[in-house]
Amino acid sequence: AKNMIDSEKTLFLMYYTTAANNLDTLIEFMSNHNVLLIIDESHNIKNYKLKMWANSSLILASYARRRMILTGTPMPNDARDLWTQLTFLWPNNYPLSHVAPYVRYAKPHGIGERFRDKVKPLFTRITKDDLGLPEVKITPIRVPLPEIQRKIYNVIAAKTLAEINSLREQGRLQKFRHAKMIRLIQAASNPSTIHEKADEFEIDGINFGYPGEKISLSPLKEEVSEDIYEKIINYSKHGELPGKITAAVTLTKELVKEK
């Protein structure tokens, strides 16, 4: 990071973890230059309990000449998610008060009357009617799964359904592991994402609002037959293309012909 910062470039892009691990270098650079610090997908710093990303963002904020946040989901959970994001924009003024009183108020009231005037000027909403978009036409296309993918999907679907039913009976459905639902989607879309390409499609839970929900194959190995497990971990080697991909290619070729 230091070599990158010392270059003559005028734009630096980095992941949250990169910034958090190089605070001293960034602070030194920002102390000597006029910096516009932009946080994209800023709901990732929403944790008002000041986890690493949120804490690092607030530390860096006061060293920036200007600050900007970009997000389409400023409150993925509730109004408490706004505190870090707005405090980042005005780190010396605390537009939403200090964290403890704001959180105490926002938990039962949302933004409420107390903070509405602070927040209202910062948001705008554009509806589909405002954009003059044509009416959306949805055409469902049923795609049969090829043999190996169908076997994988059927097994994972059965295991997922059994767990849901078990949790419903025990009154613990809200604790169902969302990662397993994502694994079901992976099986329906492309089974190679479950294991072979897991690093490329890693689900870390942050964008889904469930930090720490890792998809692990360890339980799956105990739940399925040895034959199905082999098909999952070596799916692409069987030479089968997932049904959705085949259908998408066919449809794309048809649309290209129609220009």
Give 33-61 pLDDT, tens digit per residue. 999 999 999 999 998 888 889 999 999 99
Task: Indicate the residue type of 208.
Answer: F
Give the list of residues 6+ apart from residue 231 with CB closer than 8 angstroms, or none. Answer: 148, 151, 152, 191, 238
> Mean of the pLDDT values across residues 207-229?
61
**Total count of residues recorded for the chain:** 259
Percent above pLDDT 70 for the chain: 81
The token pair at 249 is 């290619």
- 223 vs 21, higher pLDDT: 21
Q: What is the pLDDT of residue 213?
A: 43
CA-to-CA dists, residue 119 to 96, 113, 115, 123, 125, angstroms:
9, 10, 6, 7, 13
Statement: residue 101 has pLDDT above 70: yes
- 194 vs 243, higher pLDDT: 243
Q: pTM higher than 0.75 for the full model?
A: no
The token pair at 27 is 């602070």
**Contact at 8 Å (CB) between 60 and 27?**
yes
**Contact at 8 Å (CB) between 56 and 49?**
no
Rounded to the nearest 5 percent, the helix, strand and coil shares of the chain are: 55, 5, 40
CA-to-CA dists, residue 105 to 72, 99, 121, 205, 250, angstroms:
24, 10, 20, 27, 54
List the one residue out of 69, 2, 66, 70 whose CA is nearest residue 34: 66
> Mean of the pLDDT values across residues 97-114?
93
Q: What is the pLDDT of residue 178?
A: 61
> Mean of the pLDDT values across residues 137-154?
93
Phi, psi of 253 (to 5 degrees): -60, -40
